[in-house]
Homo-oligomer: A and B are copies of this chain.
Amino acid sequence: MAQQKKMVEAITSMDEDFAKWYTDVCKKAELVEYTSVKGCMVIRPYGYAIWENIQSILDKMFKETGHENVCMPMFIPESLLQKEADHVEGFAPECAWVTYGGSEKLEERLCVRPTSETLFCEHFKNIVHSHRDLPKLYNQWVSVVRWEKTTRPFLRSREFLWQEGHTLHATPEEAIEETERMLNVYTTFCHDYLAMPVIQGQKTDSDKFAGAERTYCIEALMHDGKALQAATSHYFGNGFAKAFDIQFANKDNKLEYPYQTSWGSTTRLIGAIIMTHGDDNGLVLPPAVAPIQAMVIPIAQHKEGVLEKAGEITERLNKVCRARMDDSDNSPGWKFAEYEMKGVPVRVEIGPKDIEKNQCVIVTRHNREKTFVSLDNLEDAVIEKLKEVHDGIYQSALENRERRTYAALTMDEITKRLEENGDGFIKAMWCGDEACEDKVKEITGVGSRCIPLEQENLSDVCVCCGKPAKHMVYWGKAY
């Protein structure tokens, strides 16, 4: 019990200091560790296993929608990065630059990719000549580098893991459809696998990806009321194609510029999982991406037959989910705390009395509810409980978001809402003018998160200037 207490006490509570709670969880759940490489982190086995699960689900969804994986170089020559004006302006300030190879100074410096549009464009120019070569539906799983000043594990680091999709199409309609399709893939993934409700929307012009015509995003609300962009999907028009001179012969054998998209999601998703579902006992993992879905803990394991039975049920469970047994010397209490910290969705306890009664105890992580279950239908019960955890944490996250979403008709109302209720989403009308967007941020502290695809008409006028409103916007503070 001493150790159990030690472990639980070691986390700062969410209400006391959310930022500290977050880094405590990252560290205590053994997700990451710091290194001497400033702003970069080690993703430890438990953290990486979550990413592997995310990867394997998303990769399957990408392949089912016709995409193929490729791998581009990690370096971009400076001249290549400069080909699209908006793009270089957006990314150059945060590039890491390689200037030496061995002891020789390079003739042209290379940036470590912050994103790979330019490389994909160069490649598309090489391989696309005819309408028969289209569409190209590519994706890659790599890491990218952005030289950030302030960093936090998963949320903002100088190097992070991600996937970037890059596609090329004959018509704008097809490219827009692709942009929307991938936004929907991300949305389904967040809902069905991460148990994370998200709002689909479009970024305002000031917040678009550097070089994009339109940027779509999904926005989630964290436990502390701050928003987190969980994924983005960009429509480029043919701006990049023109800058890189990518052309294809259409069916009439005339040259045309193709239309392009890109879309991405990153290890940030792990940060989003932590801040959406976690609690003061640590991590709470959505079952679909949990490295261990059911942890079997033998009670009084020195007693005859206990370890054997626990091993037997672990083996049975392993056929229907990712199950493990902890038969270490640590006390059951210590183990309970350990796997609560690590967010294992379902705990299965089994001791001598349970064995006598042909039962075990199932405890669900998110609400700590105990259920006695007959060993006869253990598998079904655990599968059922995993579904309960998924649904339960999805509901809690949705309730948190709804509780923290306020409509406001005036600037004063925005300020008042935030003062009274703390951070959250503010829904308010906007005229479309960047000056108003800036002013809202300046006065109230909340920026535009997105123009949601599902619009509501709260009023006819802009919350800031009173002129006719064009859109309802979600405003908030963001990670």
Contacts and interface: CB of A to CB of B under 8 A. Distances in A.
Interface in A253-282: none
A80 interface: yes
Given A37-B75, A40-B75, A70 B45 contact: yes
A159 B142 CA distance: 13
Contact of A122 (B35, B41, B96): B35
Counting contact residues on chain A (CB < 8 A from B), the size range is 35 or more
Contacts of A94: 101-102
Given A33-B126, A100-B99, A43 B71 contact: yes
Given A49-B68, A97-B100, A73 B159 contact: yes
Contact of A37 (B51, B76, B127): B76
Nearest to A92: B102
Interface string A87-106: 00000111111111111000
A72 interface: yes
Contacts of A68: 45, 48-49
Contacts of A41: 73
Contacts of A42: 70-73, 119, 123
Given A75-B37, A103-B93, A70 B43 contact: yes
A306 B92 CA distance: 56
B74 A143 contact: yes
Contact of A112 (B44, B51, B72, B98): B98
Contacts of A72: 35, 42
Interface in A261-313: none
5 contacts: A35-B73, A36-B80, A36-B122, A42-B71, A94-B102
A381 interface: no
Contact of A147 (B37, B99, B101): B101
Contact of A138 (B45, B74, B145, B159): B45
Nearest to A72: B42
Nearest to A59: B52
Q: Which of A37, A99, A143 has the most CB of B within 10 A?
A: A37
B122 A74 contact: no
A110 interface: yes
Contacts of A371: none
